[in-house]
Every structure is written in structure tokens, then in C-alpha cells.
Amino acid sequence: MAHGSSIDRGGLLPSSLLAMLASRGPTSRADLARALDVSAPTVTQIVRDLLARALVVEQATATSHGGRPARPIGLAVSAGGALGVKITHDHVGVVEVALDGTTGAASTIPFDPTRPDALDRLAQLLDDVAASSDQRLLGVGVGVPGAVDAQDSGVVTAPTLGWDAAPVGQLLRRHLGIPVLVENDVNTLAVADRLYGAGREHNTYLVVTIGRGIGCGMVIDGSIYRGAFGGAGEIGHIPVEYPGGRGCSCGSVGCLEAWVGDAGLLRTARDAHVVGRRTGLNRVIELARGGDPGACTIFADAGAMLGAALAGVVHTVDPEVIILSGEGIEAWPLWEPGFVQEFRRHLLPRWRSIPLIVEAWDETKWMIGAASLVLAAPFDAVGVAGIQGRLVRDRLQDSDGRSA
């Protein structure tokens, strides 16, 4: 569990409180403090700010059994919402999320990021989605599988998309005419966990994803840790063989991802003649589930390699819990034996019992996390969201007629 920390540099606690009221209905300040595992004064301060912004209202006084009567807090009419966007190598996922955390239906649209006009096409399809929205959009949050220099500028380097210093934020803002925040997609998943998932109960945790690549979102003291240039969490590029080694999509050699990402697993299977050169990864998974010794060894070895590398990350960050997710998590039973043994073996005694939470793959959650970049911006006290965050606050002020 978290330890009552009131640190919330990125504004996630107010967003989490709103989402909790959306799911629970009117709730007392004391119950909110317990559910969010923060101090009562912290909740009081957040509620005071939300009341001033007309985002929550005090309900009729609840029956008291001694002491000061509690006045439950409930949601006011939503003052807007955001689009959450997840970009992949072959499609774009989009969902609309209201300020209170309620979501519309998610949609997926085919998309080829390698086309010369990819960003223009992305802007057009998002413009079409925004035009069909029934509510006033405060902004658009975009999650990408790569490094982002800053949420507000949104310059993206993503080898899996073929993007190098792509001006995603600037181009989308010019086309859409509303604030756009861009972030690494695993970081957006970590935000979603903070607001709606296991992260509610923890202030410092890691979200590790397996699939085409290996990603890691770090939440420290309740806020996403991005590093000096937005590249924190690229654990897929920890060197695991040296000197030299297998080539990686990043241009380096010997990276963890070159062995345990989808392409790496398939290459290992082909090199070991477990499958033929024209066979895909799904066949390797099928063979492993059927007990094929060669296929089982591939996943066990990959799990062991990931576990050893992640132990080093735990020693560096000191998280309360690790959340495992991603497209590849459906094959987790194949990874687990090798992973758990090596992960625990490499940990120092004080971390050896750290909990592991395995979450089912749900792409919509990543989209919701991207939208949450926008929904958290009005409560961002130190400028994590930069200029675009201030523009979101301005739009919220215009929509509710009060100071933001």
C-alpha cells in the first residue's frame, strides 16, 4: 500500500478523485482519503479546489453517529472531456473520456505510420473523430511507442513506427486547433493505472509491458517520472549481451528487446529451427502451449532474461509493486516459470517479496491513459504538461465560467 503521501506533482490525485466519484457516487471526504490512501488534509485541499471550479458539489449532510456530520461529495455536471489516442504500427485507437472519468465507445482505425504523409492522415482522422463529439473537448492526449521530448511539444522518436524527431504535437495542434499532449504509451498506461487500476493503492510502482517491444512506465511519489529528456523507462534497451550481440531496431546491439520482443522471440525460434522462416510468432506460442520442448525453452529463456534485467530496475527505483501488461501478456504462463525464478534470485533480500500484478491486455485502457494526460492538466501544479496544460486550464475556465 501507499503511505499517505501528499506529493502529486502531475495532478493525478484530483483526476483520480473525480474518477472515483464517477464510479462510486457521492462519497465522504474521509472515505475518499481512505480509498486514495492519502491524508485527510490532502483530500480536503483537493475538494476545496474542485468545489471552486464547480466540478464537484456538496450533497445533503449524511446522518451522523457522533461527531461532526459528514457532507458527501458528488460530481457536478461535466465541464468537458478529452480524446485519448494510442498509435500503433498498424492502427490508431481512440476513445472519448469525460472529466469525471466516464468513457465512450472505443474505436480502432487502420493506420500506416511509415507513409510520408502519415502525420497529416493522423490529423485528419482525429479531426473527424473530434467533429463527431457531443461534448466540448478540452484537448487530445496521444500515446506513442517511443521517446517523447516533452508532453507539450510532443516531438517523437519511435523506431517501431519509423519516426525520428517527428513533430507530432505541433502538427496535430495546427490541424485540430485544440491542446494536444503527447507521451510515451507505457507512461499513459501507468497514468491509467494510477487513476483507475492497481496504482490507486500505490504511490511508487512500475508498469512493465511486453509485446513488440519492452516498455516501462515509472510512477514515483504519485507522478510519472520522465527523466531529463522524456526517455526514462526504456528498459528494452538495457544491454544484456556484450561486447557486440544481436542487432536491435534502435540501431544498437545486445539490447534486451532484441531477444524478448516479438521479433526477437521469432528470430530465436527460427534460428533454432522450431519453426520455419515463413512462420509467425503465433505458431511458436501455439507449439509452446502444446508442450513442444524447443518452443517452451524459448519463452523460459526470454522470461529469465527479462526477470534478471528487471531485478536491476527494482534495485534502482525501489517500487512498491510491479504491474505487468502489454499485448504479449496473453502468453504470460509461458514466460512465468523462467521469469519468476530469475527475477527473485537476482533481487536483494529486502525486495525479494515484491508483489507482481499481471493485468489482462486491454488496449482501451491505454487510450484512457492518454486522455488522462489532458484531464490531469487542470490540476498540474508544477507544469508537467507545459504550455498545452495551461491551454487546457484556459478551456476549462471558459467552459465553467470560473477561474482555473
Cell of 202: 500505490
CB 154 within 8 A of CB 170: yes
Q: Is 351 exposed, middle or buried (0-12, 13-18, 19+ CB in 10 A)?
A: middle
The pLDDT value recorded for residue 404 is 36
Per-residue DSSP letter, 89: S
CB 74 within 8 A of CB 59: yes
Name the CATH code of domain 81-190+363-400 (choices 2.60.300.12, 3.30.420.40, 3.40.50.720, 1.10.10.10): 3.30.420.40
Name the CATH code of domain 203-319+327-358 (choices 3.40.50.300, 3.60.60.10, 3.40.50.20, 3.30.420.40): 3.30.420.40
Task: Indicate the pTM of the whole model.
Answer: 0.81
Cα distance between residue 333 and residue 331, in whole Å: 6
The pLDDT value recorded for residue 244 is 78
Chain segment 42-61, per-residue pLDDT in tens: 999 999 988 887 778 888 76
Strands 321-325 and 356-358: parallel
Confidence of residue 183 (pLDDT cuts 50, 70, 90): very high
Mean pLDDT, range 328-335, rounded to an integer? 95
Q: Over 80: is that where the pLDDT of 209 sits?
A: yes
Cell of 27: 462519497
Q: How many CB atoms lie within 10 A of CB 272?
A: 12
Nearest alpha carbon to residue 186 among 226, 133, 135: 226
Confidence of residue 79 (pLDDT cuts 50, 70, 90): low
Give the contacts of 78 (CB within 8 A, at least 6 positions apart).
98, 99, 100, 102, 135
Per CATH, 81-190+363-400 and 203-319+327-358 having the same topology is answered: yes
Q: How many CB atoms lie within 10 A of CB 90?
A: 9
Mean pLDDT, range 173-184, rounded to an integer? 95
Q: Over 50: is that where the pLDDT of 14 sits?
A: yes
Per residue in 241-266, is it b (16+ CB within 10 Å) or e — as a string?
A: eeeeebebbbeeebbbbbbbbbbbbb
Give the contacts of 313 (CB within 8 A, at least 6 positions apart).
206, 216, 235
Strands 137-144 and 81-87: parallel
Q: Over 90: is that where the pLDDT of 396 sits?
A: no
Confidence of residue 385 (pLDDT cuts 50, 70, 90): confident
Decide which of 308 and 399 is more confident: 308
To the nearest 10 degrees (0 to 180), the angle between helices 12-24 and 363-376 is 120
CATH of domain 12-75: 1.10.10.10
DSSP reduced 3-state for 316? helix
The pLDDT value recorded for residue 19 is 73
Distances (CA, A) of 84 to 30, 119, 268, 374: 31, 16, 36, 9
Q: Is 277 exposed, middle or buried (0-12, 13-18, 19+ CB in 10 A)?
A: exposed
Instruction: Give the residue carrying C-alpha cell 557486440.
Output: 244
**% of the chain at pLDDT higher than 90:** 62
Please give the helix or strand (H or E) that residue 126 lies within, else none: helix 118-131
Chain segment 144-154, per-residue pLDDT in tens: 998 999 999 99
* Domain ranges for the chain: 12-75, 81-190+363-400, 203-319+327-358
Q: How many CB atoms lie within 10 A of CB 60?
A: 9
Nearest alpha carbon to residue 218 among 322, 143, 304, 148: 322
Cα distance between residue 345 and residue 242, in whole Å: 22
The pLDDT value recorded for residue 203 is 85
Cell of 132: 463527431
Cα distance between residue 299 and residue 308, in whole Å: 14
Greatest mean pLDDT among 19-23, 159-163, 283-287: 283-287
Per-residue DSSP letter, 38: B
Strands 147-148 and 155-158: antiparallel
